Amino acid sequence: MTATVSYDDVAVGTEMPARTFPVQRLDLIRYCGASGDFNVIHWNQRKAQAVGLPDVIAHGMFVMALVGRFVTDWAGDPGAVVDYGVRFSTMLVVPDDDVGANLEVSGVVTEKLEGRRVRVELAARGPETKVLTQARAVVQLA
């Protein structure tokens, strides 16, 4: 976790340092257990391909959680996020190899709000395309 970001130290246009989250099949299996979502498209390549997917895909909520973690790590406080929402634009395909898929996350402060809050716009990309659109959060800063 990073040091707490101060409201006084950010301006509209402040970029949040980009971060890469590696995602492997083991991460998806662990998430299956944590979430109770054992849909086979998240861990079985044969079944995922049988329904027309290119390979196993990450859970949407897992991807959303990684982006949320990016924001809370930046803010320095897991309770700092007061509003968060995304739209899913495509799936994060996770191949069964030693690499998996990388989720590249970045963000920028787009508005300073009352009460020491800021609005941030977020971007999340898989290896080939945007995974999320309209990803935004409101963050309470110190």
- Exposure b/e, 99-122, CB count within 10 A at least 16 = b: ebbebebbbebeeeeeeebbbbeb
8 Å CB contact between 76 and 100: no
Answer whether residue 51 shows pLDDT above 60: yes
Quote the mean pLDDT of the chain: 96
Average pLDDT over residues 19-47: 97
In percent, how much of the chain has pLDDT > 90?
96
Q: Strand, coil or helix: what is 118? A: strand
- For the segment 45-53, the average pLDDT, to the nearest whole number, is 97
pLDDT digits 0-9 by tens, 87-138: 999 999 999 998 999 999 999 999 999 999 999 999 999 998 999 999 999 9
Confidence of residue 4 (pLDDT cuts 50, 70, 90): confident
Structure token digits, residue 71: 């924001």
Beta-bridged to residue 7, according to DSSP, are: none
Q: What are the domain boundaries of the chain?
A: 7-24+61-140
Residue 1, pLDDT score: 47
Asked if 121 and 13 touch (Cβ cutoff 8 Å), the reply is no
pTM over 0.85: yes
Confidence of residue 3 (pLDDT cuts 50, 70, 90): low
The answer to whether 90 and 129 are in contact (CB under 8 A) is yes
Count how many Cα atoms sit within 13 Å of the Cα of residue 118 in the half-sphere of its side chain: 25
Q: Which fold has domain 7-24+61-140?
A: Thiol Ester Dehydrase; Chain A (3.10.129)
- DSSP label at 12? T
